Amino acid sequence: MNNNNLPRLGLPNLGLGVGLRNKHFNYLLHNPAQVDWFEIISENFMDDFGFARHVLMHVRKQVPVVMHGVSLSVGSTDLINYKYLEKLKALAEAIEPEWISDHLCWTGVAYTNTHDLLPMPMTQESLTHVCERVMRIQDYLKRPLILENPSTYLQFKASTISEWGFLSSLAATTGCGLLLDVNNVFVSATNHGFDAPNYINNLPHEHIVQMHIAGPTDCGDLLIDTHDQPVPSEVWKLYAQAQQSTGGVSTLLEWDAKIPDYPDLLIELYKAREALKGNIPVQGVNKSEHQPVSNPVEFQLLAANG
């Protein structure tokens, strides 16, 4: 299936990219990028006009850049933070990104940022709430917002809509784009017991602008989105399926801890080309060497119940 001619918000397939991380700054100042594009964490550059901004502008002259945020808190019931949006918009005007993305989540309450990507209840009420906020944000930014499916470790009993159904309605109502993180689909599907290929099949593929791939860690009862391992075979299979369904969109390798040297990072990124040929890389899911992680929700429930 080739959907290259379907509307995708007028945004291009940038090819293969990686995140711009501090560890690689000096390497990138003395070597070509060797990728098609970079993704930056928006918050890391909003108030930074020093060395990091210098490196960003250096690579921006070579390849396109995409802004990816972690603090928009689009699902929050707090009022929209226009001071945050003002900084986001100013950064966008400075570096002219191909697009701006964030997550379908909320990140705090009472204007306090927890710096966690917290899951949404999948209900009609929350869908209406998020749609209204997305349209206000897009009007302010004067560009489509791209939203990513998060990895989650719990679900709300009140939820009445599947996550893929929620994202589909959100995209249809607001015209926003979708950032499909196939690793997050794998993590959440494992943790909650739903069918990952079915999730991808039921998304509106014409709205998918970008994909993330990454490596999680098996911590016993939960699969954790650690971004510190090679991409496992299960994620590569979902990636190949999703790319086939969309007809090809921008690919970003996320690696945020235990970050390898830049040449080794590129070797992992380039495996995407083989995956698209049907040569799925053989790689197991990393298993934690430590005890299974505690579940803070269960802990607090036990404490509350005495």
Burial class (CB in 10 A: 0-12, 13-18, 19+), 263: exposed
Choose between 300 and 239: higher pLDDT: 239
**Residues 239-297: tens digit of each pLDDT:** 999 999 999 999 999 999 999 999 999 999 999 999 999 999 999 999 998 755 555 55
Is a pLDDT exceeding 50 seen at residue 143?
Answer: yes
- Predicted TM-score of the model (pTM): 0.93
* Residue 295: predicted pLDDT: 54
Q: Tell me the pLDDT band of 184, cut-offs 50, 70 and 90.
A: very high
* Residue 49: predicted pLDDT: 81
What's the rounded Cα separation, in Å, for the pair 72 and 116?
A: 11
What's the rounded Cα separation, in Å, for the pair 127 and 124?
A: 5
**Residues 199-236: tens digit of each pLDDT:** 999 999 999 999 999 999 999 989 999 999 999 999 99
* Residue 105: predicted pLDDT: 97
Residue 91: count of CB within 10 angstroms of its CB: 22
Choose between 4 and 258: higher pLDDT: 258
Q: What rounded mean pLDDT belongs to the chain?
A: 93
Burial class (CB in 10 A: 0-12, 13-18, 19+), 155: middle
CA triple 244-246-248, angle to 5 deg = 75
What are the structure tokens assigned to 116, written together?
């966690």
* Residue 292: predicted pLDDT: 57
Q: What residues does 177 pair with on adjacent strands?
A: 146
Annotate 124-163 with DSSP letters as a single string.
HHHHHHHHHHHHHHHHHHTS-EEEEPPP-S---TT--S-H
Give the Å distances, CA to CA, from 242 to 187, 203, 284. Answer: 16, 10, 20
* Residue 59: predicted pLDDT: 98
* Residue 233: predicted pLDDT: 98
Q: Tell me the pLDDT band of 47, cut-offs 50, 70 and 90.
A: confident
**Residues 53-65: tens digit of each pLDDT:** 999 999 999 999 9
Is a pLDDT exceeding 90 seen at residue 104?
Answer: yes
Mean pLDDT of 189-205: 97
Phi–psi pair at 89, nearest 5 degrees: -65, -40
* Residue 23: predicted pLDDT: 97
* Residue 1: predicted pLDDT: 42
Annotate 4-72 with DSSP letters as a single string.
TTS--TT-----EEEE--GGGHHHHHHS---SSEEEEEGGGTSS--SHHHHHHHHHHTTS-EEEE-S--
Q: Tell me the pLDDT band of 111, cut-offs 50, 70 and 90.
A: confident
Is a pLDDT exceeding 70 seen at residue 301?
Answer: no
Which among 31, 98, 55 is positioned nearest to 265, based on CA atoms? 31
Q: Which residues contact 304 (CB under 8 A, 6 or more apart)?
A: none
**Residues 29-39: tens digit of each pLDDT:** 999 999 999 99
Instruction: Look up residue 283 and give its amino acid.
Output: Q
Choose between 103 and 289: higher pLDDT: 103
What's the rounded Cα separation, in Å, for the pair 113 and 21?
A: 22
Which among 146, 234, 228, 229 is positioned nearest to 188, based on CA atoms? 234
